[in-house]
Structure 1
Amino acid sequence: MIKRIIFGLVIGIAAMTTNAQSQVPYAELNNGLKMPRFGIGTFNVPGDSIMADAITFALKNGYRHIDTAHAYRIERGVGQGIKDSGVPREDIWLTSKIWPTEYGEGKTLKAIDEMLERLGVDYIDLLYVHQPIGDWRGAWRDMEKAVKAGKIRALGISNFDAADSLYNAVIEFAKIKPAVFQIECHPYAQRLEWRKRADADNIQVECWFPLGGAMSNGALFKDPTIMKIAEAHDKTPAQIILRWHIQEGLSAIPGATDHGYITENINIFDFELTPEEMEAMRSLNKEQRFFNMSLEDKQKYLLNMKIED
């Protein structure tokens, strides 16, 4: 009897994993590649061992998209988690980001090789310029060379919403156009104008802080509208928010290391928000960002921020 119960639990967990994985929608990027629109973020994780455990658990439970960065200092943990999961590398969409101190033609190619070594992989699916400061043009030229060499599959821009001129500049400069545009985006800051521009340029929008991030102090989770919708579906506020992202056509990468939260976040593919609920979610927009570092401060502080290996 006990064996049958344990077997049933194992089968149930396996079915849940397969179901979640099979329902994650994909975006077809402007270079023809298909990217899972849901994944796990890795910002602010305290150490490689914790990161490895979270990545292993996530991949074993249906996640196939990982977003990381050199600046997070846990790329080795990400790589170890991929190995420990047993999931084939070709089934995983792996994203990372180059830091401004690594920008520059010749310099960025070296940084990409070092990134591949830290991650323990032969290629990266998507590589971002992390911040729109410093010699991002030189970095972009090297990133294009890395694409041609088969080390990178797609290129993206992160935080290029700091100024219209920056976004326009990279669009005009790039020979290989950005495939993904990563910005802070959630129900309180829906970034409508930026989404419209990205759509016109055939660029997928990916959202960091999709749940508001730690700086929000859980504001979105306490919103009465979101709480009411969550109660109607017997879901958590986080699941309602992530479901909204998916139905809006966005890509979301919520960060988590707790196994419970990792499981909660991906369990959003067994229900849909109604048209009325989607309108209620859209009505929450007030373009209120929770991270508000100015471009001037980024230039002042981040250019001097050395990332140790």
Structure 2
Amino acid sequence: MDELPNIGLGTYKNTDPEQCADIVSTALETGYRHVDTAQAYDNETYVGDGIERADIDREDVFLATKVWDDKLAYDDVLESADDSLDRLGVESVDLLYVHWPRNSYDAEETIPAFDELRDDGKIDHVGLSNFTPEQLDEAKDVLDAPIFAHQVEMHPLLQQEELHEYAHEDDHWLVAYAPIARGEVTDVDEIQEIAEKHDTTPQQVSLAWLAAKENVVSIPKTSSEDHLRENLEAGELALDEDDIAAIDAIEREERLIDPDDAPWN
């Protein structure tokens, strides 16, 4: 399995052309090497502009995007993937996800299109996003390529133990979006105490907790250069066994992103 950096850059909601391109370029020149976008974010063009601006070779950037749920019929996958490549200004992406397994999604029709894109050299890896274990099983039965990554909401308030165990057993990456629970980790006593102990922030503790887990990486989003650096530094924060156990023991399950309420619907 190819390695992913433990901290990547999420770009959800960053739809200002100049700001998005600037933060992507700055992130890459700061040390980020994994950039995540999606058709539904309406910013693939700006992400591509940022990659082009950065003084970083394209082959050193792991670029991921996602096919939206109304483009998951076989021919639509192929066409929309080409459109994404055009907007991003690249010949291929490192990872292409099924964004949500709903609406036009049908494993028998959708998944073979991803295999074809991989065979044609337009994508290097196949990813799935927001799948249940049962849906992962169904996709695996159809998919020729291995699942490279599964992207889900994951943070200390939604720890995704079952999907993490699945990722570990299947040896694919679990990519955590909303990894600081939209800032709600700042109000969790256990995380505040660990942050004080390490003279750091609750957000960095949350990212470090994810980075400490096997097969897990995170993609926090930000439009601030200071937060870019803080997030990247969190990947170097070494939590001890007691810290990790204290966060593991948080018994809350708060899903912050409901697909039916997603702002792009």
Identify the TM-score tier after normalising by the shorter chain. Answer: over 0.9
Mark the runs of 5 or more structure 1 residues left unpaired by the alignment.
1-28
- Pair 1:220-2:191 in alignment: no
The letter for the 1-side match of 2:199 is D
- Pair 1:117-2:117 in alignment: no
Separation in structure 1 between the aligned mates of residue 126 and residue 142 of structure 2, nearest angstrom: 13
Secondary structure of 1:286's counterpart equals: coil
Separation in structure 2 between the aligned mates of residue 272 and residue 200 of structure 1, nearest angstrom: 25
1:293 Cα deviation after fit: 4.0
1:35 Cα deviation after fit: 2.3
RMSD of aligned alpha carbons:
1.8
How big is each residue's C-alpha offset from its partner over 1:139-182, in whole Å with a ceiling of 9 and x where there is no partner?
32111111111110000100112xx4322211222122311111
Separation in structure 2 between the aligned mates of residue 236 and residue 126 of structure 1, nearest angstrom: 31
Indicate if the aligned counterparts of 1:256 and 1:262 stay in contact, CA closer than 8 A: yes
Separation in structure 1 between the aligned mates of residue 38 and residue 81 of structure 2, nearest angstrom: 11
For 2:207, the equivalent position in structure 1 comes to 242
1:198 Cα deviation after fit: 2.3
Kindly tell me: are residues 150 and 293 of structure 1, through their superposed partners in 2, closer, same or farther at Cα, counting changes over 3 Å? closer
Secondary structure of 1:156's counterpart equals: strand
Kindly tell me: are residues 98 and 269 of structure 1, through their superposed partners in 2, closer, same or farther at Cα, counting changes over 3 Å? closer
For 2:218, the equivalent position in structure 1 comes to 252
The letter for the 2-side match of 1:238 is Q
Deviates more, 1:41-50 or 1:70-79: 41-50
Selected match of 2:42 from 51, 66, 73: 73
Secondary structure of 1:170's counterpart equals: helix
For 1:197, the equivalent position in structure 2 comes to 166
TM-score relative to the length of structure 1:
0.80
For 1:141, the equivalent position in structure 2 comes to 112
The letter for the 1-side match of 2:105 is D
For 1:58, the equivalent position in structure 2 comes to 27
Mark the runs of 5 or more structure 2 residues left unpaired by the alignment.
none
Separation in structure 2 between the aligned mates of residue 271 and residue 67 of structure 1, nearest angstrom: 23
1:37 Cα deviation after fit: 2.7
For 1:261, the equivalent position in structure 2 comes to 227
Indicate if the aligned counterparts of 2:96 and 2:123 stay in contact, CA closer than 8 A: yes
For 1:274, the equivalent position in structure 2 comes to 240
How big is each residue's C-alpha offset from its partner over 1:8-57, in whole Å with a ceiling of 9 and x where there is no partner?
xxxxxxxxxxxxxxxxxxxxx2xxx3322320101011322211011011
- Pair 1:151-2:116 in alignment: no
TM-score relative to the length of structure 2:
0.93
Separation in structure 2 between the aligned mates of residue 195 and residue 276 of structure 1, nearest angstrom: 20
1:270 Cα deviation after fit: 4.1
How big is each residue's C-alpha offset from its partner over 1:110-161, in whole Å with a ceiling of 9 and x where there is no partner?
1111111100011100000001012343232111111111110000100112
Indicate if the aligned counterparts of 1:129 and 1:136 stay in contact, CA closer than 8 A: no
Separation in structure 1 between the aligned mates of residue 235 and residue 131 of structure 2, nearest angstrom: 31
Selected match of 2:60 from 88, 91, 94: 91
Separation in structure 2 between the aligned mates of residue 194 and residue 271 of structure 1, nearest angstrom: 24
Secondary structure of 1:183's counterpart equals: strand
Indicate if the aligned counterparts of 2:207 and 2:235 stay in contact, CA closer than 8 A: no
Separation in structure 2 between the aligned mates of residue 193 and residue 135 of structure 1, nearest angstrom: 23
Q: State the identity as a percent.
A: 30
Secondary structure of 2:128's counterpart equals: strand
For 2:17, the equivalent position in structure 1 comes to 48
For 1:5, the equivalent position in structure 2 comes to none
1:62 Cα deviation after fit: 0.6
Question: Structure 1: which 4+ aligned runs deviate by more than 3 Å?
Answer: none
Kindly tell me: are residues 270 and 171 of structure 1, through their superposed partners in 2, closer, same or farther at Cα, counting changes over 3 Å? closer
Indicate if the aligned counterparts of 1:243 and 1:273 stay in contact, CA closer than 8 A: yes
